[in-house]
Amino acid sequence: MNNTKTSPGLLVKFGKNWVVFFLIVLCVLFSFIGKGFFANNTINNILLSSSPALLLAVGETFVIVSGGIDLSIGFVRGMVAVISAIVMRDLYAMGYSAFLSILAGIVIGLLAGLLPGLLSGMLIAKFKVPPFIATLGMYGISNGIAYGLCSGFPIINVPQEAGRLGNGHIHYYFSGLGFSLFNRPPGMLDSQLRNLVRIFPNSILISGLIITVFGYILARTRFGQHTYAIGGNIDAARRAGINVDWHLVKIYVISSFFAALSGVLSVLIFSNGSHTQFSASLELFAVAAVVIGGASLSGGKGSIRGSFLGVLILSVLEVGFLMAGIFAFYRYIAVGSILVLAVIIEQTFPELIYD
Amino acid sequence: MSDENIRKSSGINREWPVLIGKSWIYLFLLGEIVVFSYYGTGFFSAKNFQNVMVNSITIMLLAAGEIFVIISGGIDLSVGFVMGFASVMSAKMMVTFYTLGWNQNLAILMGILIALLIGFLPGLLNGFLVTKMRVPPFIATFGMYGIAYGFSEIISYNVPITKLPPGVGAFGNGYLLYYLPGKLLNWFSQPVGLARAEIRELVPVIPNIFVISLLIIFIFGFILSRTRFGQHTYAIGGNIDAARRAGINVDRHLMKVYMVSSLFASLGGIMYVLRFVNGRADAGSARMLDSVVAVVIGGASLYGGTGSMVGSIIGTFIIAILETGMVNLGIPTFNKYIYVGTILIVAVLIDQLFPELVRRGD
Amino acid sequence: MIEERKPILEVKNIVKRFGGLVAVNGVSMEVYPGEVVGLLGDNGAGKSTLIKVVSGVYHQDEGQVFFKGQEVKINNPMDAINLGIETIYQDLALAENLNVYSNIFLGREKLKKALGCIDVLDHKYMLTESKKVLDRLGIEIPSLKNRIKMLSGGQRQSVAISRSIFWNAKFLIMDEPTAALGVAEQRKVLDLVRTLSAQGVAVIIISHQLYDVFQVAHRLVILRRGEKVGELMTRETNPDEVVSLIVGAELVENSKK
Ligand SMILES: Nc1ncnc2c1ncn2[C@@H]1O[C@H](COP(=O)(O)OP(=O)(O)O)[C@@H](O)[C@H]1O
Ligand SMILES: [Mg+2]
């Protein structure tokens, strides 16, 4: 009697956490194949390489939970990167201080990034355009704008301080000089740079904070609750008096905001604003991460925690491939396959997925 | 009786908008040609229109496959990268066989055949995922988009595949007919032994690859509008349960539909190789959106059940002429993306707001 | 005259349970060729469940189904259709984007040879044949080239019925066929049921409107809480008697006291 009860329970428990197990398996696998997988540097690398995907995935989580999809975020990110880099470069060239130029670049970039979401949200909510079409249209439009502004070349000559901000770390450790916060230990020579231990990138701190806030919003607040309700049954949500249209507009603005944030951060990290046709593959990664994280494409299910795990899996895969000397483009095959697989698992064993 | 009267009287007010709604794409196309001819230089010329033909090939092929999928109620987001995959695959095969010492025509033919054969696979897999695994079409094909892209980069090692046999370009950039005014007419190849002045006067008529593409599209247009296969595609898009109850093997049919789409994407890749004499992973990356837009402009509803091949061809020309015309006027082409995205949204809006205006099905 | 012939459909002791709930409990009934049987009962009495067993949507837990004297196993809707048992659904049956005759021929399109070797759709044949069956059933539709989308609810139902008749359905099941229709359209559908019956087609009709059923049915079968509580010839009964059976005689007597 007892036996029959525990065994399906175990299976469900395993199923619900398959992402975690998969992540562990991947880590173990790569620590065998590649050397130094567990080094501090590698972990920083994983965190760093996951930061753009993570931001995009958080925005996408809101959209997917509400029952939609946003295919425009890769190009919105590129567009914002170009816009904010241009603002920084031009203001700086006009003689404004680096601080002011960077600040203006960030603010204008973020504001410009809200527009695509506002537009697709309106189209979806007010005019009942299917989400993947509205955002596919926005994909074309933001691609065109970005491409027009940069002609396919990265925008350079942004103030140097931008890079320092984006590439800074919270802690530095240098043997002999000890720990320091935010800045390199004073009195260090450039030749000693190689031995400097950097701990926890700034960009991760910023992303982490914002993501925590939005994770809280999705999980704990009425806004989050309504998002789940709309994704679960939009008519019921409407009848319950939720202003569904307005809520959906907000959701797509959130998604766009995260794309913009990731664009701005990319300028701070790489000291340039770059946009290529392959910016579009970023939404593949974001959608894949969200779905791996247990979200249902029919809406109503998903969590920031799950998406976070999804992004980690993809980043571990990327860094692991790199360290194992596997040609980088296998990543696309892996991601495409995992995306499809995750949906199949969700379709076939709905009871196994997070609820 | 009274019912009919109401319909008739309201028909009077409705007739004009409906007529315009039904033929707006032709008017729009005409308008485009008029505007670009007026403002552009040498836009309204045989040479330029042949240019438009060549430029339209990729979109037209991708759209010809996409129309089947969209009418059946799905969407195929993978076509751009499946096209890249086919271009890389066929170029690689051509190079391999050619360096093995094969006759170049044979090497080219083998490259084309192998790419076509393998070109079915992504569609087969998409169809399998959509029908048997119940994966939503835009996700199954989105996954395939990543997979196809990954494979093409791996095959090409992230650089375009070049050093193809010389015959590739000769055929791919050749014309059906060469005409020397008042003197001679030659089929398929440039006549030999002409003086330089004569070569300059030579008028090439209709690009080879355009003819081939159009021929294949014509056959599939026929299949779509005249045969049982086409009829079932419409039925499935209109009401999948009704189609099932009528005894149509819906799963098998959809599988074929996705294979048609990926076959056309592969044809697109092959035509790319013939024209540009190289194969590259991103050959069609920017064209997926164009093809969906061409189909939607052509009157297909993204909810399935309506659309036509002729419409998609007109939609293709609307985009291709926009592109060529903008180059002619010196407008940077990036604007095209903005227009195309906007047209997509506007077309779907019209479909939503005035459904009776856009039923240009058959 | 009907009673002398053999039943076309016979169900014996059908039981269908949903978990602990017995939706249909040991119901037996038969239907003769050309006969219209009204299936009556309150909400949840088990009418839909019973006919879904016959049309292959559900499989019975106990009991047997005989069609034309032979026991049959109906495992899915296609099995039922292949036997000649058609169910008219409100919305499931037609592709709205196709025209009338394409729907009548859906899945069984008539083909002809073009250029001597290519199979193409034979629109002319399908149009004329469809017209014939519609005329035979007295159905008026402005043009058979109209898409279903442009037709009214009653016209759609007529098309669905013509479709099944064209393909030789001998047995029609109609679950609430008039529920979504206007008054004039309801009358047309009832006329159609009479025409079908006169042409030898057997019909089971479920309806909440007693008046409708009394107009067309020869015989009435009444279910209550999954059990058959009455079977009456229409001309030998009256609405009061039927209502008391539907709600339970005790109840009616109680309220009289
Ligand atoms: N699929 C099902 N699952 C569980 N219970 C059902 C199902 N279908 C019907 N029932 C139950 O069986 C009973 C009979 O239902 P139904 O045959 O639809 O009644 P009727 O058509 O006479 O109104 C009801 O109590 C109903 O709730
Ligand atoms: Mg019922």
**Tokens 């527009």, located at residue:** A115
**More confident: B21 or C164:** C164
Do residues C9 and C31 make contact, with C-beta atoms less than 8 angstroms apart? yes
Q: What is the mean pLDDT of residues A126-155?
A: 87
- So what's the pLDDT on residue A6? 45
CA–centroid distance, B250 to ligand 1, in Å, is 29
Nearest CA to ligand 1 atom 11: C23
Give chain B positions within 8 Å (CB) of C111: 228
**Does the Cβ of C168 fall within 6 Å of ligand 1?**
no
Distance CA C58, CA C40 (A): 20
- The residue among A343, A269, A345, A283 whose CA lies nearest residue A314 is A283
CA–centroid distance, C174 to ligand 2, in Å, is 11
- So what's the pLDDT on residue A9? 63
Name the residue among B231, B237, B247 with its Cβ closest to that of C102: B231
- Would A157 be classed as within a structural domain? yes
Give the pLDDT band of residue A188 (cuts 50, 70, 90).
low
Do residues C8 and C67 make contact, with C-beta atoms less than 8 angstroms apart? yes
- So what's the pLDDT on residue C175? 87
Encode pLDDT of B246-282 as tens digits: 889 999 999 999 999 999 999 999 999 999 999 999 8
pLDDT surpasses 60 at A7: no
Encode pLDDT of C203-217 as tens digits: 999 988 888 899 999
- Would B276 be classed as within a structural domain? yes
Q: What is the mean pLDDT of residues B111-138?
A: 93
- So what's the pLDDT on residue A1? 39
Q: What is the mean pLDDT of residues B111-132?
A: 95
**Tokens 């920017």, located at residue:** B286
- So what's the pLDDT on residue B125? 95
- Would A355 be classed as within a structural domain? no
- Would A327 be classed as within a structural domain? yes
Distance CA C86, CA C170 (A): 8
Say whether B84 sits in a helix, a strand or coil.
helix
Give chain B positions within 8 Å (CB) of A327: 153-154, 157
The reply to whether residue B349 touches residue A297, judged by beta carbons under 8 angstroms, is no
Do residues A198 and A164 make contact, with C-beta atoms less than 8 angstroms apart? no
Selected for mutation to probe chain B from C97, C100, C140 (highest B CB count within 10 Å) is: C97
Give the pLDDT band of residue A254 (cuts 50, 70, 90).
very high
CA–centroid distance, C59 to ligand 1, in Å, is 14
Dig out the tokens for A204 from the structure.
Answer: 């991760």
Distance CA B242, CA A154 (A): 53
Please, which residues bridge with residue C40 across strands?
A: C222
Give the pLDDT band of residue A191 (cuts 50, 70, 90).
low
pLDDT surpasses 50 at B5: no
Instruction: Give the chain C residue nearest B1 (alpha carbons).
Output: C142
Give chain A positions within 8 Å (CB) of B334: 143-145, 147-148, 151
**Does the Cβ of C51 fall within 6 Å of ligand 1?**
no
Give me chain A's average pLDDT, please.
83
- Would B178 be classed as within a structural domain? no
Judged by a CB distance cut-off of 8 A, whether residue C20 touches chain B is no
Name the residue among C78, C98, C121 with its Cβ closest to that of B227: C121
pLDDT surpasses 60 at A5: no
**More confident: B362 or C56:** C56
DSSP string, C140-157: --S-TTSBGGGS-HHHHH
Judged by a CB distance cut-off of 8 A, whether residue A69 touches chain B is yes
Give chain C positions within 8 Å (CB) of B231: 98, 102, 109, 121
Angle of helix B46-71 relative to helix B208-226, nearest 10 degrees, comes to 30
Dig out the tokens for B13 from the structure.
Answer: 């007010």
- Would A342 be classed as within a structural domain? yes
Give, in degrees to the nearest 5, the angle at Cα C64 between C58 and C66. 100
pLDDT surpasses 80 at B158: yes
E strands of A133-290, at which residues? Answer: 169-174, 178-181, 197-201
- So what's the pLDDT on residue B4? 42
pLDDT surpasses 70 at A198: no
Give the pLDDT band of residue C105 (cuts 50, 70, 90).
very high
Give, in degrees to the nearest 5, the angle at Cα B259 between B254 and B262. 130
All domains of chain C, ordered by start, with CATH?
Answer: 1-84+170-257 (3.40.50.300), 97-169 (no CATH)
Q: Is the pTM of this model over 0.95?
A: no
The reply to whether residue A336 touches residue B336, judged by beta carbons under 8 angstroms, is no
C141 backbone φψ class: left, alpha, beta (φ>0; ψ -120 to 50): beta
Say whether A155 sits in a helix, a strand or coil.
strand
Do residues C175 and C48 make contact, with C-beta atoms less than 8 angstroms apart? yes
Q: What is the mean pLDDT of residues B111-117?
A: 95
Give chain A positions within 8 Å (CB) of B286: 277
- Would A156 be classed as within a structural domain? yes
pLDDT surpasses 80 at C194: yes
- Would A4 be classed as within a structural domain? no
Name the residue among B227, B235, B361 with its Cβ closest to that of C106: B235
- The residue among A329, A341, A252, A219 whose CA lies nearest residue A288 is A341
User: First vs last Cα of chain B: how many Å apart?
Assistant: 28
Poorest-pLDDT segment among A225-239, B58-72, B110-124: A225-239
Percentage of chain C exceeding pLDDT 90: 50
- Ligand nearest the Cα atom of residue C43: 1
Q: How many helices (H) and strands (E) does chain A have?
A: 14, 3
Do residues B308 and B298 make contact, with C-beta atoms less than 8 angstroms apart? yes
**Does the Cβ of C45 fall within 6 Å of ligand 1?**
yes
- So what's the pLDDT on residue A256? 96
Encode pLDDT of B130-143 as tens digits: 999 888 898 899 89
Nearest CA to ligand 1 atom 16: C46
- So what's the pLDDT on residue C57? 87
Length of chain C: 257
Dig out the tokens for A6 from the structure.
Answer: 């525990």
User: First vs last Cα of chain A: how many Å apart?
Assistant: 27
- So what's the pLDDT on residue A329? 79
- So what's the pLDDT on residue A132? 83
Do residues B361 and B308 make contact, with C-beta atoms less than 8 angstroms apart? yes
Distance CA A189, CA A186 (A): 9
Q: How many domains does the structure of chain A reveal?
A: 1
The reply to whether residue B150 touches residue A332, judged by beta carbons under 8 angstroms, is yes
Encode pLDDT of B45-89 as tens digits: 888 888 899 989 999 999 999 999 999 999 999 999 999 999 999
pLDDT surpasses 60 at A8: no
Percentage of chain B exceeding pLDDT 90: 52
- Ligand nearest the Cα atom of residue C23: 1
- So what's the pLDDT on residue B360? 39
Residue A212 maps to which CATH number?
1.10.3470
Q: Do chains C and B touch (3 or more CB pairs under 8 A)?
A: yes
**Does the Cβ of C7 fall within 6 Å of ligand 1?**
no
CA–centroid distance, C80 to ligand 1, in Å, is 21
Length of chain A: 355
Poorest-pLDDT segment among A155-159, B100-104, B345-349: B345-349
Contacts of C208 (CB under 8 A, 6+ apart): C176, C179
Say whether C120 sits in a helix, a strand or coil.
strand
The reply to whether residue C96 touches residue B231, judged by beta carbons under 8 angstroms, is no
Dig out the tokens for C42 from the structure.
Answer: 């309150």
- Would B186 be classed as within a structural domain? no
The reply to whether residue A137 touches residue B134, judged by beta carbons under 8 angstroms, is no
Give chain A positions within 8 Å (CB) of B323: none
Selected for mutation to probe chain C from B70, B223, B227 (highest C CB count within 10 Å) is: B227
Distance CA C76, CA A146 (A): 55
Query: How close, in Å, is residue B222 to chain A by CA atoms?
Result: 28
Do residues B245 and C91 make contact, with C-beta atoms less than 8 angstroms apart? no
Give the ipTM of the model, two decimals please: 0.79
Give chain A positions within 8 Å (CB) of B302: 130, 133
**Does the Cβ of C23 fall within 6 Å of ligand 1?**
yes
CA–centroid distance, C21 to ligand 2, in Å, is 16
DSSP string, B98-139: HHTT--HHHHHHHHHHHHHHHHHHHHHHHHHHHHTS---HHH
**Could you list the residue range(s) of the whole structural domain that residue B306 is in?**
41-166+217-358
**Could you list the residue range(s) of the whole structural domain that residue A224 is in?**
19-349
Q: What is the mean pLDDT of residues B291-299?
A: 90
pLDDT surpasses 90 at A101: yes
- Would A314 be classed as within a structural domain? yes
Contacts of A24 (CB under 8 A, 6+ apart): none
Judged by a CB distance cut-off of 8 A, whether residue C182 touches chain B is no
Q: What is the mean pLDDT of residues B84-102?
A: 94
Q: What is the mean pLDDT of residues C124-142?
A: 91
- So what's the pLDDT on residue A175? 65
pLDDT surpasses 50 at A354: no
Dig out the tokens for A289 from the structure.
Answer: 């991460």
The reply to whether residue B243 touches residue C106, judged by beta carbons under 8 angstroms, is yes
CA–centroid distance, C40 to ligand 2, in Å, is 10
A348: number of Cβ within 10 Å: 10
Say whether B288 sits in a helix, a strand or coil.
helix
**More confident: B149 or A170:** B149
- So what's the pLDDT on residue B264? 97
The reply to whether residue B234 touches residue C95, judged by beta carbons under 8 angstroms, is yes
Do residues C100 and C63 make contact, with C-beta atoms less than 8 angstroms apart? no
